[in-house]
Structure 1
Amino acid sequence: MPADTPNGLYGPENLPYGVYSAAGDPGRRRIGVRLGDDVIDLGAAATELGSPHAALLTAQTLNPLLAAGRPVWTAVRADLRAWLDERPGALPRVPLADVRLHLPFDVADYVDFYASEHHATNVGRIFRPDGDALTPNWKHLPIGYHGRAGTVVVSGTPVVRPHGQRRTPDGPVFGPSRRLDIEAEVGFVVGAPSRLGEPVPQAAFRDHVFGVCLVNDWSARDVQAWEYVPLGPFLGKSFATSVSAWITPLDALDAARCAPPERSHPLLDYLRDDAASGTEPGGFDLRMTVTLNGHTIAEPPFSAMYWTAAQQLAHMTVNGASLRTGDLFASGTVSGPEPHQRGCLLELTWSGEDPVELPGGTRTFLEDGDEVVITAWAPGPHGSRVGLGEVSGRISPAAAG
């Protein structure tokens, strides 16, 4: 395992961005950068040190910085690292424990993909035991759907058990979901927008994507199973999607770039990412851990994802759909080839047939009061590790109704 820096997973090679408020001034939101167990007030530092980007960094959300584009992102990161090297005492800090973290950007659109071959195969075997595990299109394009941006919430926000219709032998009934699940995912945050009608090729991925965060795309499996044919996920997915409070810039993950799994089917030109295509490796070596009530239940490897984020971006814009600042697109459930690498309870319990063992009992799906925490780290430069901000959520009982 790579060695940690003195600041652990949040050293100067990381420097993720977030939005916080201080205990003494709860009504004012500030842009911060995490360094170890401290938060640097980036807006105050930029103002005091005369940064030409101070106006962007004193905003109450990351959106103005996201919209500024890659040259500005690179310059701000370079300035921050220089300040840490040359004038660390000039950077105002506050302990992480003394701040409240907020949703770091205003979400414009949300797209969720289905990019893990292992996850898709397991789900296919569960629901179509006598048919093909993968649908005929799966190896030819990244399957996805548009989700509900308005219910994306920051890590730590309670998740209320949703109501919905579910199927029974006597017909549909209405009530709280009985098969509430997690989905351990990785999200990508769009900064620079694109024009309507102009596709974004894989080669432009870095020009448009600002950074990465962890995602838990909660799922009511019983509601989803009844409603999703023929148009796909709806109420079973739209009640909550949790994201981490820290957005790790793409530049912090350069050492974690890796080749995706070998392609088993030829791809159309806009999705090709072989050596002959000239596309840089689009995978990321992110090591994820999922805990339920403090007990590790899964360790999904993001490097096993069949479809890359660059391919997802190219596919979701190839029809001319435009990008907006604050768009979020997620990988879909991250699962690996081994049983302990499955990123949702549907797979881990094989749809409830094989309960997960916990110190206090077993689980097939989530119960009220359960807390799920997803963490991850990636290899960094010089043997360091780069941490992604955790995403957590606790299940609250269904609202009366």
Structure 2
Amino acid sequence: MLRTENQRKLSNYKHGLDYAKEQDKLDELSHYRQQFHIPKDKQGNDLIYLCGNSLGLQPKSTKTYINQELEDWANLGVEGHTDAKHPWLPYHEFLTEATAKVVGAKPIEVVTMNTLTTNLHLMMVSFYKPTKKRYKILIESDAFPSDKFAVESQLRHHGYDDKEGLILWKPREGEELLRYEDLESIMQNHGDEIALIMIGGVNYYTGQFFDFKRITELGHKHGCKVGFDCAHGAGNVDLDLHNSGADFAVWCTYKYMNSGPGSLGGCFIHERHAHDKNLNRFTGWWSHNKQTRFKMRDEFDVIPGAEGWQLSNPPILSMAAIRASLDMFNEVGIQKLIQKSKKLTGYLEFLLKDLGADTIRVITPEDPKQRGCQLSLQVINADKSLYDELTEAGVISDWREPDVIRIAPVPLYNSFEDVYLLVDKLKKVLENKS
């Protein structure tokens, strides 16, 4: 039997700690690990932090970036809006170009603002346009809860039943991953009833990375608007948002983009909507023409592009943390990060296979093109106590009910040695339990 491309790639890896250390020496990005604060255990040893899919680590430069704004605030007061080292009035613009590179968009298509679910609601104000016949919303059946809650509330807001109006793209019986054939079947049967397709670009539970272009073309073929929640994709995978043709996308910046807990999110609105002043939206003074914004009494004149969805002046301290991280992304380049990510995650997959399919099931797709750095592990006949023991052994990972441990080797700060030590500790925990 012919081996798959992924099986051939896995055969290139080797066992042993020496091999992992050698790969770290060969890794041209390995020195970036030193630019992050790595959490430590009570003895002062580095923890094995593999939870960037939940909260990214803090770049050491973040404090400097935030302190600059604190100093300018202390020394300049309100004049900091124009006279700060990085003036506050246009501060969000300092993030635009680097953000566009990370998500594969044009600068006019992106803006940093608000938080993820707030942005999702703002996007649905513009792109969920229900009619008597076409009002349903399609999401994946195991979407992140906030996505499900948000779309259900939009259905209720427009006077529809939130269960009857929701169409779920489900995996087949006994499977975890979603199949495009099933989505095509749903669209064939219900396409004329669906107003919006809103999919989590990388599923939080399985780690499955969806084909944005394929989904968008299918949705547009049936007259639907299409959007993506890229919370688990931004800074992790090649989103290529502009070329996907999606109408909109939203994301947070505190996972793979390392901007700190609860930090601001981002929005993408495709440039074909950039100059449509008639597109329904909620507005505020920061979406108004910059030249006349402070004249105060002018009628509303929307800014072209994604900036036209802003509501309020930017929270500078949060944006300073984002800028610290984005400057690092800009220096490295998203493609180099993805290249290393595939090697790290492939190495993790290689080592896990040694544990045996009767012990560990990786429910994330084998094809590297259909996943990011996260692997979701289903441990046979185990419960949360296994995760707890792994945490006690110095591994910071992520548990999701009912039976999945999520592991995410992040290329900016995780090493091959991290991956080796994780699997070594997992083996020992499994041996002790058995």
Looking at secondary structure, tell me which structure has more helix per residue. 2
TM-score range, shorter chain: under 0.3
**In proportion to residue count, which structure has more strand?**
1
TM-score by length of 2: 0.25
TM-score between both structures, scaled by the size of structure 1: 0.27
